[in-house]
Amino acid sequence: MTNSDGRKGTFEVTVINRSYTSKHKSAESEEGWLNDVSVDAIDGLKTTSDFVNGMDISSSAYLYEKGAKFYNAEGYEESLFYLLKDNGVNYVRLRLWNDPKDGDYLYGGGNCDLTRAKWMAKEATSAGLKYLLDFHYSDYWADPSDQIVPKAWESYTTVDQFSTAIYDYTKETLMELKSLDALPAMVQIGNETRDGMLLSLPGEGSGYAEDKRALSSSFSGSLKTNFKTYLKSGIKAVNDVDSNIKTMVHYVKNFADPSTIVSFYQNLSDVNYDIIGLSAYSYWHFSTIDVLTSGLQAISAAFPDKKIVLAETSYGFTYELDSNANNSFTSTNETIKPVTGYPCSIQGQAKMYRDTLNAIHSISNGYGAFYWEGAWLPLAGCGWGDSTTLSSWSNQAFFSYNGKALGSLAVFNKVYSANHN
């Protein structure tokens, strides 16, 4: 069959409950969650551009397993992937953990293993979305606080062993995706590698991420030792599968101190990557859009031959609570709270994303942004950690707590110049 926008395919679908029923009627109505938002288009941004206007949806596979449904603005159930495509999103970002479980015990946070990544990759590709595959090289969250070696690698004691493991795992993963005709357009080698990667051994007894143990500096991936060697192994694997895939190195630091960001990437001058990836949350990394823009200008001037992407950003739309949520973005949190000029509302959320995207678009080598976990619904068992934890991010998503597109989701279309070509 061919539908009205030219998509072709033969498929069978069973829809049990197509119409949306609100879970939070009072807040939805009083706060206007479904209302239209007003944002200015970004001058010169065209839909035909390959500029990233993206969303991280890494938890979506597990959400679907737990019964999640997503609804368009008219209140009808729709595939999340097609819904995002229809609303202007052109890229999604998918994180990958090596083995996020111990036996039958799942670590949580979307349980982002290869099986789920392959499903999301196929769904994204079918919907006409490009995607970034984010290798954490860990069994769980890799970030400035934790860069824990996968369990399968914890017996390794040489740089060669780790380098080979990174190369083999990266290449084998991509070859599996290639066999599905679902290769990523972009690959991230490590996640928020502020201090390096593969820095600790898994904990013993109390859990993988608890009581983590020191990894010998002689073969850890610290910035001062083997970080570049490990980056090069991952990048080589990507290029050996398909040299057209763009590679990203991801860093995190406040944009008020761009010299530290510049110094980090200057130390990678002999690493052949394509994209500088930076986390950009207003409540952690920039106090105003001017600070973000100024920082990006300094980084752009230092690396005119590298593309720059804001790999993560987000903002809250409500303080409403849910029985399955423990919101991190609140009015009382000392850090994760609104900034001046951007209220906690769908309008504030849309404006923050638009202005953040405009900041990266304003520099000559700006290549776009990904909104982080914009579809993380508060379902039972779908928290930040294991099945006993609650969702901490749902009030920063672009969907109501039971899956209807907020009015702010339209920002992904509204940012394009008026003629949309």
Beta bridge partners of 71: 77, 404
Beta bridge partners of 342: 339
So what's the pLDDT on residue 204? 83
Please answer whether residues 156 and 162 qualify as being in contact, where contact means their C-beta atoms are separated by less than 8 angstroms. Answer: yes
So what's the pLDDT on residue 421? 41
Catalytic status, residue 192: yes
pLDDT confidence bin for 420, thresholds 50/70/90: very low
Please answer whether residues 170 and 234 qualify as being in contact, where contact means their C-beta atoms are separated by less than 8 angstroms. Answer: yes
Active site residue: 123, 192, 320, 373, which one? 192
Question: For 110-139, how does the pLDDT look when each residue is reduced to its tens digit (9 = 90+)?
Answer: 999 999 999 999 999 999 999 999 999 999
| Phi, then psi, of 260 in degrees rounded to 5 | -70, -40
Structure tokens at 228: 């570049």
Specify burial of residue 331 (Cβ count, 10 A radius: 0-12, 13-18, 19+). exposed
Question: For 296-352, how does the pLDDT look when each residue is reduced to its tens digit (9 = 90+)?
Answer: 999 999 999 999 999 999 999 999 999 999 999 999 999 999 999 999 999 999 999
Asked if residue 14 has pLDDT above 50, the reply is no
Name the nearest CA neighbour of 230 among 151, 321, 153, 313.
Answer: 153
| pLDDT-above-90 percentage for the chain | 90
So what's the pLDDT on residue 19? 82
Residue 105 identity: Y
So what's the pLDDT on residue 311? 98
Structure tokens at 344: 């906690």
d(CA 22, CA 320): 13
d(CA 202, CA 147): 10
Give the mean pLDDT of 17-37: 91
Catalytic status, residue 320: no
Please answer whether residues 280 and 252 qualify as being in contact, where contact means their C-beta atoms are separated by less than 8 angstroms. Answer: no
Name the nearest CA neighbour of 133 among 228, 242, 272, 50.
Answer: 242
d(CA 250, CA 313): 13
Asked if residue 205 has pLDDT above 80, the reply is no
Active site residue: 77, 78, 312, 320, which one? 312
Domains of the chain: 53-313+352-387 (3.20.20.80)
